[in-house]
Each structure stands twice: as C-alpha cells, then as structure tokens.
Structure 1
Amino acid sequence: MSENAKFRVAAACAATVAVTILIFRSRRHVSKRMLVTGASGYLGQHLVAALHSAEPGLEVHVAFGGLETYESDVAGTVASVTKVDLADAVAIRSLVRSVRPDIVVHLAAVSSPVVCEKNAARSDAINTPHALLNALPTSTTFIFLSTDQVYDGIAGRYANAAPAQPVNRYGRSKLAFELALHAALPASMSLRSSLILGPRTPGRCRKQSFLQFCEDRARGALQTDFIADEYRSVVWVGDLVQIIRWAALQGGASSHAGVYNMGGPERLTRVDVAREVVKALTPAPSLAVANGLPPYFRGVSKASLGDMGVASPPDISMDSSRVAALSGVALTPLDVAVAMALPRCNLPSADLVPMTLIIQLGACNDEAGVVDADVRARCRRTRELLEAHPNARVLTSGGADPRFKFNPTSTPHWQLVERALLEAGVSEAALLRPGMPALHTVHEAMMSHERVRQWLVGRRPTEVFREIIVLTSDYHLARVAHLFGVVFGSHARLDVPVRFEAVAVAIQSEEWIAARRVHEAKALATLKSAPYEPWLGWLKARGLEGVNSRGV
C-alpha cells in the first residue's frame, strides 16, 4: 500500500474516532464567553448564525468594522455588538475588558491583497493586531483565520503547515500574526483558509462569496473573464464553521494547537467554480459550449489581464486532510458545495428548489468488497426514489474498522455501496461525497445530523432540503426511526421532514429474520431506557435525554 493510501485509511479511522469522541462531547452545562472579530464579514455572519442556532449554552459577543447595517441585522442573536477599529490599541483593550472572553475567533482583516499593497501601514496594523494578544490572558483559546497566501505558489498541493514564503503584503501580515499568536497563547490554532464558498449570508454583507459572483454573472448572462491558471483549494463555508466549533468549543485548539491548512479536497481554478455554477443553473445543456461554459464566460490567463498591482501566487492548492481527520469534519467537494448553495432550478421559473436527501444506510460486505443482498436491495430502491424525485441526491454510509465485522476490508463501506449504486444504474452525479464512515446505526444518526448542519450553515433546513428519506431494511426500521427521529426535528434544531423507506429483507431464512427482529427490539429498548456512549454523550450535549426516553 502506498504512503498516500495508508494516510487515507488512517485519516478515515481518525475521523471516525474524532466524530465519536470530540463532536459529541457534552458541553451543555459549561457556559463560555466567545468574542468573534470580523463578525460582519462573510464567514463571520455564517459562524454567528450557526452558533446562535446550535450553541444555546454559549455567550457570543461580536465585533465588526464599518458595515453600518450589521448591528440591526444581528440584534437579539448575540450578547453584545461592538464597532471597533483593530488599528486602535486603546479600543481593543476596552473591548477585551468589556467582554472578558474565554474564546476568541479572530476573523477580521484587510483581506484584499491590492488594498494591502496600497495602504501598507494601516493594513499591517489591522492584520497584525498585537494589542489584541497583549490584552488577553494566556489561558484564552484563540482561533485565527489565516490564509493560503502565506505560500509562494510555486509547488502547489502544499502539505499541512508547509514552510511559508508569502509573495505579497497580505500573506506576510497573516504569517506575522501566526508567529506572534503561537508565541503568546498556548491554546491557539491558525487555519490557513483558501477561497471560501457558500450560500448568501443571513444578513446584509459587503461582499458575498465567489459562488454568488458566478451565480449573478450567469443569471445576467454577463460577459466575464475567469482566471484559468491560478489554483486553490476552495473551501465550503460550513466546513470552516464546523472546524472552528471543534477547535473553539470541543478542545481542538487546546489538544492540537498549531497551524493547519484549511482548504477543500480539490485543486481548482475559478473557471472550475464558474463551470459548476453554470451546470447547476443552466436549464438546457445546449446553452453550454464544449468546455462547460456558456458563450458569455471565458477562461483566460492571469498574464492577459495585465499588471494588477500585487504579486499573486499561481498555485496555492493545499492538502487539508490533517485538520479534517482530527476534527472529524468531512471536507466538501465543489459539486456538493454548489448543490447545497444552489439547489436545482425549477424550470421555467428558475426558482431554486430544495433538494430531497436520501440517506442510504449501510449493511455488510465480504473480504473481496462485494456487498450483500441487503445493500443491493436498498440500491434498487434508491434508484426508484431518484427517478421519482428529480431533485434528489444520495448520501451513503459505512466505515471500516477491524473491530466491526460488517466490513473486513480497509475500504470504507460507503465506497462499496457507491459502487453498488452505480452498478444498479444510479448516476454518479446523484452521489453526495464523501459518504459517512459510520460503524453502526447510532453513528449513522449522529453523523447525519452533523453533516446536514455542515451543509446548512445557519439557514433554515427547509430552504435547502424538501425532505430527508432514510433507507434501510424492514427488520431495522423501528430502531432507525427512533434514532433519526431524535436527531432531526425542532427539538434538535434541525426541523426538516424525515420519512423512512423499509426494504424487504433479502434472501434469508425465517429463523434468521426472527432472531434479527428480537435483537432489534432489545437494542431499541436499551437505547431508550439505558443509552450508552456515544449516544448518551450526544443526547446530554443537546438536552435530548427526555426526547430519547419517550420517543418521537
């Protein structure tokens, strides 16, 4: 096995352990005070909205710069709102004294490389606010949004926290603050973020993500040139939100302090993003030319645009698998990001239609990776559901661990299920990747909750999902319905309709089926009356013990 393959297997196992141990750690009874700087920006708005909807025990204070509408947009959802100039040391000290934060999530920056070059002194003061570090006690947990532009862009595919050699002032200022931060605060984490993509912000925002730029240009059929020879690992905003939650609230910054690449799983250009947006919005394939772009979009070289006043690294794609493995957050590929931000158009009105999410639960496979008859029966039903729901996508499930006999291979079961789905006639475009590396039904329910939250990033569930269909075998239905009934619904702050599809058990004896039903009944009774870890910790963290015991 190659070193890369070994790392992927290790990362998958680490992700499963992280999801079990970290994401579901109880913290409901621990009140913390968090300060978010740059809260009016694109990431800040999504982070604050997600914290408000899912972290009831957390006291969130926000600081912002010059967006005058922000205070009214966020009123009632945070503990305090402060307009602050990060170049003003006195104002920073006053803010810290007022809030007394246990946790700081520092997102504020002059993020335009061109502006940084033109206004060097002020941009350096804002991007390297030493006064903020000096005002905080050393016990503070600190999450810093750094940038992929700390890399020179010569090699590409940079390993985690590879040596930094920024080519512009923006990258140099971010690197300088990384160094100062980790010298000052032990429980600190720098996330070297790539270009962030996602849905529109909950409130008014000065600048949406590049995905909205592509959407607006495509809807207006506006002539646009996209740079085709600069590469980045664009990242879904929900991935960043979940990893910040892990680092700030679940001990990540304390137990794994340091610098991490924070990009998506692919090496992409802006043309790739534009092409995927066009695919989601274009009603008729005939409107697109051979390269997937309409006539009004064009890929061009960076050199053809002339001198833009700042050096730009050509290939700052990154390997971000380290932080993904530690946090248990699955990095979202571009096609899934666009599907979640722009659910399919309902022609001819071009309104965006919420998607139907089909969660196909796993079963078993043999030593050769051949799935059993239950999986194949579920695959056939999934194909039928996709035919009946044109705007539907499939999320598969199943991990790999030698302690669990359902999968004796090192390949995650969800990948084997995907193979079976393709063999059953399901289109590859219908698959949501990556699947969930779950090891049992409790894992499947908890991971489904976290994955849906990752995709929603603070929006109402019904804006993204019409319904969730959970597909399993008939003997398994009662336990599945209980678990997924608990993890979804208004009580779990994920109020989206859920229904269940039960497939008749594949070729088995009557004795096997009877024994299976007895096992399922006992397992369900135990889940309700004496829940065990990790289910118990997950319930306690969300105050759902009562919902679990009485059922939904």
Structure 2
Amino acid sequence: MSELELEGAVLVVGGSGYLGLHLLHYLAAETKYQLVYTFNKLNVPPNHDSLRHVRGFQVDLRTGEGLDQISQELGPPAVVVNCAAISVPRECEEDPERAHEVNVPRSLTRWLKSFDHKKPLLIHLSTDQVYQGTKSFYKEDDETNPVNVYGKSKVEAEKHIRSNWENYVILRSSIIYGPQPVIPVQKTLPVQWIDSTLSSGRETDFFEDEFRCPVYVKDVVKVILLLIANLTAEGGFSQLVLNLGGPDRLSRAQMAEVVAEVRGYDLSLINHVKSSTVNRGVQSPPDISMEVTRLETFLGITMTKFADGVRQTLGPLKAH
C-alpha cells in the first residue's frame, strides 16, 4: 500500500470513538495519507504522539454543521469512513428521533453531493442488527427486517446511501472486540468486561440463546485499509454491501467460555440463561450470525478466530 497515493484526505467520521481511534492510529502510520477526523463533543488529545499530525473538526451530523469547514480548508476528501452512530440499542429505543437523525447520514451525503466532479468513496459502518435474527449465517442478499429501532435506523441509513450516493461500501459489522485504542475510551469493552467479571470469582449469567459473529477490531481496520488500497489501485466506483463478522458463531455464554479457557478461569462461574429472563428495555434478535465468505473472497483475507482474538486482546494465561 505504501506506493499508492490518494488525491485528497481520508476523513474518519466519528474518529474519537473506539473503532475511529483504532483506525486513526493505523492510518496515521501510513504517512502518505492526509488524515482528518470529526468528533461531536469528545475530541482526541491533540498532543498524543501517534496522532499529532491528525487534525480534528467538530461536526454535528444531525445538521451537518462543521462539514463545510473541512472542504473549505482541505478540499474534497478521497475517502470518508463513517464510524459515527448511536449504537447502543436501548438508547435508540428511548429516543428514536435522535437515533435516526444521527444514524442516517443525510447531512453527510448532502455534503458529498456538493463536490462537482469528485465522488469520494464512502465506507459506512452498518450492523448485523439489520437482520431479523430467525436463522443462522445470514448472507448479504437476505432480507433485512430488524426488530429494534437501532436496526431500523441502520437499514434506513443503508437505503439512504444506496439512493443518494454511487460510490460506497457498506460494512455490516457484528460485535467489535479487541484491545483499548492508543487513547483509551470510557465505554465497556465486551471481552474485557467478561474477563473482569470472571476474574472476580463471581458466578455470572450469560445468554445461551443469542448468537453473534464477534469481529476482532484489527480485522475491521485491515478491511478498511484494504478497501482504501483497492480504491487507489483500481479506481472507479464501488457499490458493495459486505458482512463484517468473525468466523465463529457464538452465544454470549460461549464467548464467556472461550475467555475462561484462555485465561484459566473456572467454567462453573458461567451460568447459562435464556435471554427472555431479562428485560433490557429493547428487543434483541436471537441469531444474527453472518456468512463472511463474500468479504474474505473479495479482499483475500481470513478473519481472526475468536479464541485467537481474545488471546491477542488479554495477553497470557492467568497464573494459577
């Protein structure tokens, strides 16, 4: 990738979030890229060594305020990676209007359309929750019929992009797990939470009937870097929808078992329970495991198995 150059910046929308920070860190290492990001309220410390050459712009995605400043100062970007979203399903359920305003990138596509002769590649992070969850290993061409507001807002976002922009890749991501980024975030990270809970020695309930294909964050970054490299190598327009998951279909309880096995915890600490025993204030799809063959074939990669990703995230075995 090092010999390829882009005509314009790479813009990471939502660059102060978990995935955004990982992406900025790895893109910043590719010094040929002019790299910028947006944030809403929480900015990245400007003096952080690995990101000292990266510039942030405050943007309100609901109105688009702040986007014009980017193009006025830097011109049209070559690539826009949209990581920004309200991604907690319960928050979306409690405020559907705000969820749709943020998650459907109307202001972003409106801004992109303002460039006369430039059609930047839009890489948009969607979700596995666009699927209804009534079968295993969904494929990209399967019907989207989400059961909650979060999934509905992301389906609407996908439809909006397909109708309003001609150069895009939509990535339907499963649960993203992995280490903290170079600047730690405050959100609860799934594998670290499981590890912390089991390390306390407390018995904990885990759902045995909700299945996902958790995806390692460094795989997500690799996918996005390869898509950018493919753009610079091939040129032309893309209109792709790709499932972005790991290779393992796992319940929450099975995820906990893998963490326990990697770290040496007692498996009896994991209580297998039905998801119907807990009211989370939002309906959750039972099985939204995904087939990722199209992604792996298109990019020529193999996704990281969950056990390997857990080892890379948490480090060596727990001492007995």
* TM score, norm. by length of structure 2: 0.90
Q: Which residue of 1 aligns with 2:36?
A: 61
| Aligned residues of 2:2 and 2:32 also touching (Cα < 8 A) | no
Contact 2:16 2:43 in 1 (8 A): no
Compared with structure 1, are the counterparts of its residues 339 and 183 closer, same or farther at alpha carbon in structure 2 (3 Å cutoff)? same
Asked if 2 retains the 8 angstrom alpha-carbon contact of 1:186 and 1:254, the reply is no
Match of 1:90 in 2: 65
Measured at CA, do residues 68 and 89 of structure 1 come closer, stay the same or move farther in structure 2, by a change above 3 Å? closer
Higher helix share: 1
Deviation at 1:111, TM superposition (A): 0.3
Between the aligned residues of both structures, percent identity stands at: 30
Give the 3-state SS of the residue equivalent to 2:36 in structure 1. Answer: strand
Q: 1:70 Cα shift?
A: 4.7
Is 1:303 aligned to 2:245, yes or no? no
Post-superposition Cα deviations, 1:447-478, rounded to whole Å, max 9, x if no partner, equal: xxxxxxxxxxxxxxxxxxxxxxxxxxxxxxxx
CA contact (8 A) 2:28 2:51 kept: no
Q: Which residue in 2 is equivalent to 1:335? A: 307
Show the 5 A alignment for 1:330-409: 330-345=302-317, 347=319
Of 14, 17, 23, the residue aligned with 1:47 is 23
Q: Number of residues paired by the alignment?
A: 313
Contact 2:46 2:52 in 1 (8 A): no
* In structure 1, C-alpha distance between the alignment counterparts of 2:101 and 2:49, rounded to whole Å: 27
Asked if 1:129 is matched to 2:101, the reply is no
Counterpart position of 2:249: 267
1:507-550 Cα deviation digits (max 9, x unpaired): xxxxxxxxxxxxxxxxxxxxxxxxxxxxxxxxxxxxxxxxxxxx
The residue matched to 2:193 in structure 1 has which SS?
helix
CA contact (8 A) 1:140 1:185 kept: no
Instruction: Say whether the 8 Å CA contact 1:246–1:327 is kept in structure 2.
Output: yes
Deviation at 1:66, TM superposition (A): 2.9
Partner of 2:286: 314
- The equivalent of 1:504 in structure 2 is none
SS class of match (2:210):
coil
SS for the counterpart of 2:147 is coil
- Equivalents in 2 of 1:330, 1:191: separation in Å? 16
Alpha-carbon deviations, 1:322-350, whole Å to 9, x = none?
011111121111111112112323736xx
Structure 2 residue aligned with 1:81: 56
State the alpha-carbon separation in 2 of the partners of residues 309 and 150 from structure 1. 18
CA distance in structure 2 between the partners assigned to 1:271 and 1:230 by the alignment: 9
Q: SS at the partner of 2:125?
A: strand
CA distance in 1, matches of 2:223, 2:55: 24
Aligned-partner SS, 1:156 = coil
Amino acid at match of 1:249: A
Q: After superposition, what is the alpha-carbon deviation per residue over 1:467-507, rounded to whole angstroms, capped at 9, x for unaligned?
A: xxxxxxxxxxxxxxxxxxxxxxxxxxxxxxxxxxxxxxxxx
Distance 2:146 2:165 in 1: 23
**Cα contact 1:160–1:260 (8 A) shared by 2:** yes
TM-score by length of 1: 0.54
**Superposition pairs for residues 475-490 of structure 1, below 5 Å?**
none
The one of 149, 154, 165 equivalent to 2:134 is 154
Q: CA deviation at 1:208?
A: 4.5
Which of 258, 263, 275 matches 1:276? 258
**CA distance in 1: counterparts of 2:220 and 2:68, whole angstroms:** 28
Does residue 111 (structure 1) correspond to residue 87 (structure 2)? The answer is yes
Say which SS state the counterpart of residue 344 (structure 1) adopts: coil
Deviation at 1:69, TM superposition (A): 5.6
CA contact (8 A) 2:172 2:241 kept: yes
Residue ranges of structure 1 left out of the alignment (5+ in a row): 1-23, 349-552
- 1:207 is displaced (CA, Å) by 1.5
CA-CA distance at 1:90 after TM superposition: 2.8
Q: Deviations over 1:116-140 (max 9, x none)?
A: 1111111211111211101113511
> What SS is found at the alignment partner of 1:58?
coil
Looking at structure 2, the residues matched to 161 and 213 of structure 1 have their Cα atoms a distance apart, in angstroms, of: 34
Compute the RMSD of aligned alpha carbons.
2.2
Which residues in structure 2 correspond to 1:14-53 (within 5 Å)?
26-27=3-4, 29-30=5-6, 32-53=8-29
Cα separation, 2, equivalents of 1:74 and 1:81? 15
AA in 2 matched with 1:104: V
- 1:32–1:57 CA contact under 8 A, matched in 2: no
Contact 1:189/1:253, CA 8 A, preserved across alignment: no
Aligned to 1:111, the other structure's residue is in SS state coil
Letter in 2 for 1:44: G
Say if 1:316 and 1:248 are closer, same or farther in 2 by CA, change over 3 A.
Answer: same
Question: 1:239 and 2:219 equivalent?
Answer: yes
SS in 1 for 2:77: coil
Tell me the distance in 2 between the aligned counterparts of 1:174 and 1:185.
Answer: 16
- Rounded to whole Å, the distance in 2 between the matches of 1:63 and 1:266 is 33
Check the 8 A contact 2:25/2:51 in 1, yes or no: no
**How many angstroms apart in 2 are the aligned matches of 1:134 and 1:212?**
39
Q: Describe the shift of the 1:161–1:97 C-alpha distance in structure 2 as closer, same or farther (beyond 3 A).
A: farther
Moved more, 230-239 or 78-87: 78-87
Q: Which has the higher contact order (CA 8 A, sep 6+)?
A: 2
> Which secondary structure state, in structure 1, belongs to the residue aligned with residue 129 of structure 2?
helix
Q: Secondary structure at the residue paired with 1:94?
A: helix
1:258 aligns with 2:277: no
Closer, same or farther: CA 187–253 of 1 in aligned 2, 3 Å: farther
Listed as ranges, the gaps of 5+ residues in structure 2 are: none
Tell me what 2:124 maps to: 144
Q: CA deviation at 1:181?
A: 1.2
For the residues of structure 2 that align with 1:253 and 1:217, how far apart are their CA atoms? 48
Partner Cα distance (1:222, 1:31) in 2? 54
Contact 1:188/1:254 (8 A) holds in 2: no
- After superposition, what is the alpha-carbon deviation per residue over 1:268-299, rounded to whole angstroms, capped at 9, x for unaligned? 111111111111222xxxx62xxxx243x322
Please tell me whether the aligned partners of residues 57 and 66 of structure 2 are also in contact (alpha carbons under 8 angstroms).
no
The correspondence for 1:248, drawn from 215, 220, 228, is: 228
Q: Which of 189, 210, 218 in structure 2 is aligned with 1:230?
A: 210
* C-alpha spacing 1:277/1:41, structure 2 compared with 1 (3 Å): same
